[in-house]
Amino acid sequence: MIVKNISLNNFRNYENEKIEFSPNVNIIYGNNAQGKTNILEGIYIFSVGKSNRTVHDSELIKFGEKDAKLNLEFFSQGRENSAEFKIFSDKRKKIEINEIPVKKNSELVGKFNTVYFGPEYMSIVKEGPKNRRKNLDILISQLHKDFFYSLMQSKKIIEQKNALLKMDNPDKMMLSVLNENLIKISLEIIKYRFEYIKKLEKFSKIYQNEISGGKEDLEIKYNSFIGYIEEFDDKKIKKRIEDKINSVFKREILYKESMAGCQRDDIEFFINGKDVKSFGSQGQQKTVVLVQKIAEVEIIKEEKGEYPVLLLDDITSELDIKRQRFLLSKLQNMQIIITCTDRRKFKNMENTKFIRIDKGRQI
Ligand SMILES: Nc1ncnc2c1ncn2[C@@H]1O[C@H](COP(=O)(O)OP(=O)(O)OP(=O)(O)O)[C@@H](O)[C@H]1O
Ligand SMILES: [Mg+2]
């Protein structure tokens, strides 16, 4: 996956700019608040159909304008592709790939793959489970449309359930039907999450070991809403899901909210048997995130046969030189787009294109 260029029209602080990229390393540099991260956001949007910074598409439109447009040209599977993303202030967004309209985000995910790494990921091990889950889900969604679809379905069912539970005397038959669907969908989601947690563990274990000079053994555990999943056996897992969902039935009615489902899953990291969230140093927590990101890149490469585009937002502010070097040494022969304020930090890198951004313009 190689981005050839992106055109930004009334997107964030850009009026009309086309930015060309090298297939190797690209360093976008400039002072704070000039629009560097906005470019990464623009590229990222094409991998999942929405921004990683906001859920309100209208925020992407340049202040005072009515609509915004992004155009991306990229190479994938040996061919050149074009994609367009339009946001309007008064109607639904429109996405096209090779001039064919994309009706749902699920038709888009997987066509253009990215891995995004920025300062907001540094605390993902330490924080609550939401962002850990989201990060995992974005990886799997880019590789399996049916997972993305199940995830959407599960969200819908939970919403319907919650709406029903809020009523006085909720229809128990309806609740049972929704629970039946939730059991099926949860089984699908758990199957995929389990598989990809195992894959992440396989790769990131190696990197964690390497960066710590052989001292640290990393384990990743899937603590799902039905408890830890050590192995995936269809029938046994389905039974556990049924038991869990049935066991909370009465309490859900009492408390008027759903209490079981994959929206409660978590992922836990252990170094030498100790929980990184509670006992890891800040450095170790950052390393765990770093090795996850390298693992994500390798998983996409293994399954898609080509590297994703790696988007690195301002990593120099959060990762020390040792960790930065480790990251870049592991990820060669792929396209990397990096933002930073000080280009001198990257002065000795080969095959590097420098792009200077100032007030929403390339100068
Ligand atoms: N919808 C919008 N319309 C116009 N300008 C916007 C919009 N959204 C954000 N901006 C502007 O974009 C700028 C921030 O861009 P961005 O986050 O890309 O900065 P940056 O160069 O990455 O800065 P830093 O080095 O601090 O991370 C701010 O000046 C902000 O006001
Ligand atoms: Mg930024």
User: Could you tell me if 225 and 353 lie in one domain?
Assistant: no
Calculate what percentage of the chain has a pLDDT beyond 70: 100
CB 79 within 8 A of CB 42: no
CB 183 within 8 A of CB 241: yes
User: Could you tell me if 137 and 283 lie in one domain?
Assistant: yes
Ligand 1, atom 2, lies closest to the CA of 12
Ramachandran assignment for 272, one of left (phi > 0), alpha (psi -120 to 50 degrees), beta (any other): left
User: Could you tell me if 56 and 13 lie in one domain?
Assistant: yes
With 0-12 CB in 10 A as exposed, 13-18 as middle and 19+ as buried, what is 4?
A: middle
How many whole angstroms separate alpha carbon 252 and alpha carbon 172?
11
pLDDT score of 169 more than 80? yes
Ligand 2: centre distance to CA 241 (Å): 42
> 148 is written with which tokens?
């993305």
| Per-residue pLDDT at 318 | 86
**Closest among 267, 297, 318 to 126, alpha carbons compared:** 267
User: Could you tell me if 129 and 63 lie in one domain?
Assistant: no
User: Could you tell me if 109 and 129 lie in one domain?
Assistant: no
What is the count of structural domains for the chain? Answer: 2
Domain end among 304, 336, 355: 304
Q: What is the mean pLDDT of the chain?
A: 95
What's the pLDDT tens digit per position in 1-58? 999 999 999 999 999 999 999 999 999 999 999 999 999 999 999 999 999 999 999 9
How many whole angstroms separate alpha carbon 310 and alpha carbon 40?
10
How many whole angstroms separate alpha carbon 210 and alpha carbon 325?
13
HSE (CB half, 13 Å, CA atoms) of 113? Answer: 26
Backbone angles phi, psi at 301, to 5 degrees: -60, -45
How many whole angstroms separate alpha carbon 19 and alpha carbon 72?
10
Ligand 1: centre distance to CA 342 (Å): 17
| Per-residue pLDDT at 349 | 80
Does residue 52 have its Cβ closer than 6 Å to ligand 1? no
User: For residue 346, what is the domain's CATH number?
Assistant: 3.40.50.300
User: Could you tell me if 225 and 171 lie in one domain?
Assistant: yes
User: Could you tell me if 128 and 246 lie in one domain?
Assistant: yes
Ligand 1: atom nearest CA of 34 is 21
Which structural domain range is residue 29 located in?
A: 1-113+308-363
The SS3 of residue 157 is: helix
Does residue 314 have its Cβ closer than 6 Å to ligand 1? yes
Ligand 1, atom 19, lies closest to the CA of 33
pLDDT score of 348 more than 80? no
Does residue 62 have its Cβ closer than 6 Å to ligand 1? yes
User: For residue 211, what is the domain's CATH number?
Assistant: 1.20.1050.90
What's the pLDDT tens digit per position in 98-116? 999 999 888 899 999 999 9
User: Could you tell me if 276 and 330 lie in one domain?
Assistant: no
User: Could you tell me if 296 and 312 lie in one domain?
Assistant: no
HSE (CB half, 13 Å, CA atoms) of 233? Answer: 6
| Per-residue pLDDT at 102 | 95
User: Could you tell me if 92 and 176 lie in one domain?
Assistant: no
User: Hey, which of 28, 38, 58 would you mutate to test ligand 1's pocket, going by the most ligand atoms within 8 Å of its Cβ?
Assistant: 38
Domain end among 304, 337, 354: 304
What's the pLDDT tens digit per position in 256-274? 999 999 999 999 999 999 9
pLDDT score of 217 more than 80? yes
Contacts of 189 (CB under 8 A, 6+ apart): 147, 150, 151, 154, 262, 265
| Per-residue pLDDT at 263 | 95
Domain end among 258, 280, 304: 304
User: Could you tell me if 230 and 133 lie in one domain?
Assistant: yes
User: Could you tell me if 209 and 336 lie in one domain?
Assistant: no
Ligand 1, atom 29, lies closest to the CA of 33
What's the pLDDT tens digit per position in 288-339? 999 999 999 999 999 999 999 999 999 888 888 899 889 989 988 899 999 9
